[in-house]
Structure 1
Amino acid sequence: MDVKTLAKEVKDYVIELRREFHMYPERSGEEFRTSKRVKEELDKLGIPYIAAGGTGVIATISGRKPGKTVALRADMDALEVQEKNDVPYRSKNEGLMHACGHDGHTAMLLGAAKVLSAMREELKGNVRLIFQPAEETANGAVKMIEDGAMEGVDSIFGIHLWSGLPIGKVSVEAGPRMAAVDVFDITVQGKGGHGSAPHEGVDAVVVASNMVMALQTVVSRELSPLEPVVVTVGKLVAGTRFNVLASEAKLEGTNRYFNPKIKDVLPAAIERIAKHVAAGFRAEAKVNYTFATSPVINDPECSRIAATAVKKILGEGGLMEYEKVMGGEDFAEYLKKAPGALALVGIGNEQKQTIYPHHHPNFNMDEDALEIGVALYAQYALEFLCNN
């Protein structure tokens, strides 16, 4: 039987799993129930596995003939989002939600495991299945790699379900696809006092507010306008009550970019601006800067293989070009170890109201995409192992 037929046969199984995972979302690094269920399904299929990366799982399907090793990756963690969807499978864990599609990723990879197990006789080589924790905190991939996820791997392929793409469309272009992610926090130390006598203190709120605005000039005045870069302060906490000068303020933010050279520019610029703005207001600033993950850059040959797989599943019309996005993905860490590609699989459908952006409390997916994802995982593995 071919991949398309087998993917159709496991569709209901995958939808059921996805809904179960959706009902029981877990924080990054705490995917205990999800990991347990993955292992249970692998046991049913007779696929050997090991625990890795804390709550991650690495499984291997060995073909009947020797050959290369291809890795397929899915992430398992959820987000601190309160779900607003009124569906039978809505989250049962208060304040947690699968608002980014990882429930679908995990279910699809288990579906692909079923398909590839049934096609074991045709496999020339091995398929490594990587069920990864903690993608949202950008440290899960590194932990999986430390525990051997990429040992002996010749190529890796991942899927991200994407609400910006319509159902039935897949993007697998070569080159930059998702941005590097840096994280920073700044502590502003001022001097408290009474709100009626601001001259007697150093208002950390005023300092922090000016700092937020000044940081935007890194993009507008220090970097080429031809370079896509984002500097965002997403959190600012300061003050205790209306008539007290805040003695301290804390800012948290993120930087996004594609050009690796910018990695050398941003940390120094953020620190310089923070410290000098603070000094200008008689305050002090301390900066912590972390490189979370690198940009996702699809290998040209792996993108070609993925495009071939898409055409076999959906025909020529299944491919759709999609602009690179400033969102980050620690799938990039695997690409440092072996060539690979990340595919964006469309889940957008206005009629089914699956057009909300990722991380939105009403995020949902057209579950017809799950069958496509299963087939794409499996077809990529076959194309890489058997037709190259």
Structure 2
Amino acid sequence: MSELLNQAKALAPEIVRWRRHIHENPEVSAVLPNTCAYVTAELRKMGYEPYPVGGGVVAMLDGQPDGKVILLRADMDALPMAEESGEPFASKNPHAAHTCGHDTHTAMLLGAAKLLMDNKEKVKGRVKFMFQPGEEGYNGCKNMIADGLLESPHVDVAFGMHSASASDYKTGTVLYSPGSYAASADAFKVTVHGKGCHGARPEEGIDPINIITHIHLALQTINSRERNQKEPLILTIGQIIAGDACNIIPERGYFTGTIRTFNQQVREHAKRRFIEIVNGMCATFGGHADIEWTTEMAPTINDPAVTPELLGYIRELVGEENMAEVPASMGSEDFSEVLLNVPGSYLNLSFGSKEEGYLFGGHHPKIRHNEDALPIGSAIYAQVAIEWLQHNN
């Protein structure tokens, strides 16, 4: 498949052009009208008939209409922050920036769509291209699944990639984790209601600050006394807000945080005990709570049967010297929602190492990506689709 990699490198100027346009024009959330319109227009130029699904864009390539279906995924949304990269094609929007690299994902998948259309005779099945909005906490993947993404036609296997800057590996290195790839992420906001009163007469009120502090302490026992000690679990409270003055007990206060784990059973147990402890502490001190799960993402677990097969096809393309097994990340990725329903795999591709001068990682305002990795990513997408369909139809 060196021919496929050569084709991708010849396509590099076009892939870079796609990436830079998206990078300059970032959009945040699950509603990306301009990005979706741009992706749709580029796909149509290639001969596809893209259509909207759950706020995103889907296109099909029917190499063998009755064959199996592989899903290739890229997310498209940016983050609500300013960019400080200094790139000549930096964001034109002071309130949004592609600091997580989703612009590179979208460009790589557009490149793969072009490669696969140009090599349609080698596609012994069907390829479904998933261009997703709202990965950064907006339930974009869930929305697309709810709108029928995985059916009509039914998806048999799925594959995705994430760019990694400031990695420990040279540009173009494939970074894989055979089992767990990323942790779950359940973000919460808990509003504790008490009864306000003068700070000099606390007996007349119910102090929500007192309740919150007891909740904070009690929650630590989930990790220290209830967790299987062989399974990682993080329960972080990152924000506590209550009160307006030093001599007033407020009516209410709230706290926010996140729960993360690699194990779905540990996740379910932690969330159940979280709810029980919050409500129990509130009842103990006479208050009550509203619990809101602002984000719910399952752990991203690579399928144990499919992953070695896909890694084998990638290894044929890039060579063993450009493959590296790495530990799973406590970060999160909502491609997990696809992997709950369909066997598949997700990995990272290095877009620059610290040694190469790429010093800032994801969500940093100064992050930069080495565009030399773009055609490699497009070729990997195409290679995985061609090889998997040839060996499974």
TM-score by length of 1: 0.91
Report the alpha carbon displacement of residue 75 of structure 1 after superposing the two structures with TM: 0.7
Instruction: Report the equivalent of 2:30.
Output: 29
Instruction: Report the equivalent of 1:172.
Output: 176
Distance 1:26 1:236, change over 3 A: farther
Instruction: Report the equivalent of 1:155.
Output: 157
Report the alpha carbon displacement of residue 15 of structure 1 after superposing the two structures with TM: 1.8
Map 1:1-388; keep pairs closer than 5 Å. 2-54=3-55, 56-63=56-63, 67-137=67-137, 139-151=139-151, 152-163=154-165, 164-166=167-169, 167-195=171-199, 201-289=205-293, 292-351=296-355, 353-388=357-392
The answer as to whether partners of 1:357 and 1:363 remain within 8 angstroms in 2 is yes
The answer as to whether partners of 2:238 and 2:256 remain within 8 angstroms in 1 is yes
Report the alpha carbon displacement of residue 379 of structure 1 after superposing the two structures with TM: 0.6
Distance 1:32 1:188, change over 3 A: same
In structure 2, what is the Cα distance between the partners aligned to 1:95 and 1:358?
17
In structure 2, what is the Cα distance between the partners aligned to 1:196 and 1:96?
46
Say what the alpha-carbon RMSD is for the aligned residues: 2.3
The answer as to whether partners of 1:48 and 1:60 remain within 8 angstroms in 2 is yes
Report the alpha carbon displacement of residue 372 of structure 1 after superposing the two structures with TM: 1.7
In structure 2, what is the Cα distance between the partners aligned to 1:170 and 1:314?
8
Q: Deviations over 1:85-111 (max 9, x none)?
A: 222222222222212111111111001
- Which stretches of structure 1, 4 residues or more, deviate above 6 A after TM superposition? none
Distance 1:147 1:272, change over 3 A: closer
Distance 1:235 1:14, change over 3 A: farther
Report the alpha carbon displacement of residue 290 of structure 1 after superposing the two structures with TM: 6.8
Distance 1:241 1:326, change over 3 A: same
The answer as to whether partners of 2:177 and 2:327 remain within 8 angstroms in 1 is no
Distance 1:209 1:16, change over 3 A: farther
The answer as to whether partners of 1:115 and 1:378 remain within 8 angstroms in 2 is yes
Q: Deviations over 1:281-331 (max 9, x none)?
A: 554333234772222211233212321232223211111111111222221
Distance 1:371 1:209, change over 3 A: farther
Distance 1:24 1:219, change over 3 A: same
In structure 2, what is the Cα distance between the partners aligned to 1:116 and 1:186?
48
The answer as to whether partners of 1:61 and 1:127 remain within 8 angstroms in 2 is yes
Q: Secondary structure at the match of 1:218?
A: helix
Distance 1:277 1:322, change over 3 A: same
The answer as to whether partners of 2:181 and 2:347 remain within 8 angstroms in 1 is no
Structure 2 regions of 5+ residues with no counterpart?
Answer: none
- More moved, 71-80 vs 280-289: 280-289
TM-score by length of 2: 0.90
- More moved, 179-188 vs 109-118: 179-188
In structure 1, what is the Cα distance between the partners aligned to 2:379 and 2:271?
42
Q: Secondary structure at the match of 1:128?
A: strand
Q: Secondary structure at the match of 1:300?
A: coil
The answer as to whether partners of 2:139 and 2:295 remain within 8 angstroms in 1 is no
Distance 1:269 1:110, change over 3 A: same
Q: Secondary structure at the match of 2:172?
A: coil
Distance 1:206 1:347, change over 3 A: farther
In structure 1, what is the Cα distance between the partners aligned to 2:292 and 2:372?
43
Q: Deviations over 1:197-247 (max 9, x none)?
A: 656544433432443343222112221221111112233322234554332
The answer as to whether partners of 1:349 and 1:366 remain within 8 angstroms in 2 is no
- Aligned residue type for 1:253: G
Distance 1:216 1:93, change over 3 A: farther
The answer as to whether partners of 2:176 and 2:348 remain within 8 angstroms in 1 is yes
The answer as to whether partners of 1:181 and 1:254 remain within 8 angstroms in 2 is yes
In structure 1, what is the Cα distance between the partners aligned to 2:85 and 2:209?
37
